[in-house]
Structure 1
Amino acid sequence: MGNLQFQGRGIEIETQVTDLRRQFHSYPEVSHEEVKTSKQIQSYLKEAGIEYYTGFGGNGVLGVVKGEKPGGTVALRADMDALPIEEENDVKYRSKVEGVMHACGHDAHTAMLVATGLLLHKYKKELAGTVLLVFQPAEEDAPIGGAKAMMENGLFDKYEPDVIFAQHVWPDLPVGKIGILPGPMMGNSDRMKIEIKGAGGHASMPHQTTDAIIVTNQIIGALQTIISRNVDPLESAVITIGRIEGGSRYNVIADKVTIEGTVRTYKVEVKQRVKDNIFNLVQGIAQSMGAKAEIEYLDGYLSTVNTEEWAGKVKEVAQQLLGEEATPEVNPSLGGEDFGRFLLHYPGAYFWLGTAIATRDVQKPLHDPQFDIDEKALVIGVELMAQLASSALEKLNK
């Protein structure tokens, strides 16, 4: 693992990282509104004497931990925005902001990165190189996100990383387990909005109308045939309709229906094929039934594709810290992740930190109003990120 060892040192900041996580959790802020969160991060960095810069992508913060030995540059990233979800957990640190919750664990990501920065700064005399602490806003605002805006605002103009890493809490893995893969880790994530326009009328006279609900029903059912009949069964693709709105009264045939959903894929060519088929199918069905369809398709986050050698480094460090059984076989996820935009420009890796709550018979997934983590994982995440930064610098310097 190199000369600088962080195994066991996380205990030095165990209480602090837990308190940090609970503070961020209690006062969540949605995408583009992370003002207080950003200021709190800045205050911790300032108090510790860590150099930092602001103004990236709105509320983004860049901390800079400079080792006293020369070397390369490693970036560590944490997202910090919450979701517009009303929390249902009965805990002391429950969200105090109505209708807003850290249901995706970004509170933990932010707390762990602050704590990792403090730990690395404490041992900077032994650190050979520079570690960048990237606190990203608006990760949940797909397809816009915050990564692209941060880079466009000069995030890495002064300090450019040789490699970049990020971790995400993962309720499907027990505490002490790390999910890591070379290649695709997360999928392409697109959004679509379809508006079906028919002709309304009285419920007793359907022959005088074009029922937008009936047309929409045909479209929703047919969309799934794109996956079952136009995509290779060995490829990955999912179309989900998550919202439907239409009609004004029980006895009035609807003249307009709006549906919204997502399209998830891994490969770019599969994504394009699904997108093309959506347009062809929706327009064809609408036209054949005497209706019109307007489609708004938003190309979202691209696949998060890990660099093989750096995914290997994550696995190596995780096993050295937590044992050879710490990195079980996992399958990639079709969830979207803005970190993939960083990986388009810099080599690196994205991995999952096991946070399953052992006392729960059924784990609540990400984005659930009862999502929570086992806070024992926080120290593991800090030690892993700190050791990963140190080991990556050692690899770069060789």
Structure 2
Amino acid sequence: MSLESDADLLKAAGAAGAALPGTLPEPLRAELVAFRRDLHMHPELGNQEFRTTAAIKARLEKAGLRPRVLASGTGLVCDIGVDGDQWRGGPEMLAMRADIDALPIPDAKTECPYRSTVPDRAHACGHDVHTAVALGAGLILADLHRQGLLPQPVRLVFQPAEEVLPGGAADAIDCGVLDGVKRIIAVHCDPRVDAGVIGLREGPITSACDRLEISLDGPGGHTARPHLTTDLVTAVARVVTDVPALVARRVDTRSGLAVTWGRIESGHAPNVIPQHAELSGTVRCLDMDAWREAPDIVHAAIDEVANLHRAKSEINYVRGVPPVVNEPGVTELLADAMTARRGPASVENTDQSLGGEDFSWYLEQVPGAMARLGVRPPGERTVRDLHQGDFDVDESAIAVGVELFTAAALLDAGR
């Protein structure tokens, strides 16, 4: 079967509503749901995903594949349809990336039978779903290869430490996961999109995201005499309120440069002005040019406010990730793949978000695109947002992601 006829077959079968090559059989669907629930019960933080890595590796090896654990000891890559060390000397591979780490927050789903068994750890961003999707696609594509129906090689990338700035993607790239890769695709759970639907957008789909840590210091003193010392709590409060406003006024408002705080610590007694305070948060930006200028702008704003209140400031600005910028051709590939599987109503336009994603580092190297995978039960209006302890998904989304990836692999071969 030629590459062109594979693509034509997929399009024609999708238009006719017929069974497509590589559809998800019910036993595998149930297995993937169970696999996802097992990961959900045993979440692991970035660069600590040893159990998760072992589980993925064991299942791929059971299917006759040869996964390779990354040099860091967590995460792995697995090539499908590769004879020896290369694909018959032919085309480069399509890569499918899934992130595998969890978050350091407690699972708040009290009645859920598969809630986290690890204190203060939860898959509250859907990485367990991403992993099940890539695994399922890999198992189906491996079966197609055994039947002689896989028209091009595919690489699965199970990446650790997405939640750890600047992200595990850079380390994975250093390990060679993009060697021989021509395009890369990914999904990310979206609790605002119904299961059975994906959201797509050409160009930027996420924002840049950096981490900001600040220490403020002063001599301390009695709250009865703030004029004789540095009123440090007031200084912290002014940094919290004034710095975001100053930063927003020093760039084009269309850049979406935003400082948001997540932690403040200072003081131990109500009548003592403390000597030390700490605060931390994130800096997010929609525009690449403004992101490059952001460290200088943020530093200047913090120093300005701290100096006004006679506080000494120490700033740790941690560069994170640039925006994920979806390449038009690969975005079209995902749209065509989803349409072929589930019809045109299964694809919707999505807005650029202020969330950060280290998938952007792959796109600095090769063309690629990320789709937002709908995980909201159709008809439900309660939204469980990402990074919250009660986050969960409609597990039918796993099959949708698998169908998307497998169809993309077949369609991509004809392009």
Name the TM-score, length of structure 2 as normaliser: 0.90
Q: How far apart, CA to CA, are the structure 2 residues paired with 1:227 and 1:282?
A: 9
1:224 Cα offset (Å): 2.3
Q: 2:177 aligns with which of 155, 163, 168?
A: 155
Q: Which range moved further: 73-82 or 272-281?
A: 272-281
Q: Which amino acid aligns with 2:360?
A: G
Q: 1:92 to 1:2 in 2, by over 3 A?
A: farther
Q: Is the 8 A contact 2:338 2:407 kept in 1?
A: no
Alignment of 1:174-185 (within 5 A): 174-185=194-205
Q: Distance in 2 between matches of 1:259 and 1:192?
A: 8
- Structure 1 stretch displaced more, 177-186 or 218-227: 218-227
Structure 1 position 287 matched with structure 2 position 310: no
Show the counterpart of 2:165.
142
Give the counterpart letter for 2:402 in structure 1. Answer: V
Q: Secondary structure of the residue that 2:55 maps to in structure 1?
A: helix
Distance across 2 between alignment mates of 1:274 and 1:72 = 37
In structure 1, the residue matched to 2:13 is none
| Cα 1:178/1:366, change in 2 over 3 Å | same
Q: 1:300 to 1:10 in 2, by over 3 A?
A: farther
SS of aligned partner of 1:352: strand
What residue identity is the alignment partner of 1:222?
Answer: D
Amino acid paired to 1:101: A
CA distance in 1, matches of 2:332, 2:106: 39
2:97/2:134 contact within 8 Å kept:
yes
Is 1:344 aligned with 2:367? Answer: no
Q: Give the match's secondary structure for 2:394.
A: coil
Q: Do structure 1's residue 36 and structure 2's residue 56 form an aligned pair? A: no
Deviations 1:83-102 (A, max 9, x none): 11111112111111111110
Is 2:128 aligned against 1:113? Answer: no
Which residue number corresponds to residue 128 of structure 1?
151
**Aligned 8 A contact 2:247 2:297 in 1:** no
Q: Indicate if the aligned counterparts of 1:192 and 1:262 stay in contact, CA closer than 8 A.
A: yes
Contact 1:54 1:60 in 2 (8 A): yes
Alignment TM-score, normalising by the size of structure 1: 0.94
Equivalent residue of 2:246, what SS? helix
Unaligned ranges ≥5, structure 1:
none
5+ long unaligned stretches in structure 2: 1-6, 11-19
Change (3 A) 1:12 1:390: farther
Give 3-state SS (helix, strand or coil) of 1:390's partner: helix
| Offset, 1:372 | 0.2
Match of 1:327 among 324, 342, 347: 347
Map Cα deviations across residues 56-79 of structure 1 (whole Å, 9 max, x no partner): 443121111106886441100000
Instruction: Return the offset for 1:229.
Output: 1.9
Alignment correspondent of 2:93:
73
CA contact (8 A) 1:26 1:93 kept: yes
- Code of the aligned partner of 2:154: V
Segments of 4+ moved more than 6 angstroms = none
The farther-off stretch of 311-320 and 273-282 is 273-282
**Match of residue 385 from structure 1:** 405
In the alignment of these two chains, the number of paired residues is 392
1:94-113 counterparts in 2 under 5 A?
Answer: 94-113=115-134
When the two chains are superposed, the root-mean-square deviation of aligned CA atoms in Å is: 1.8
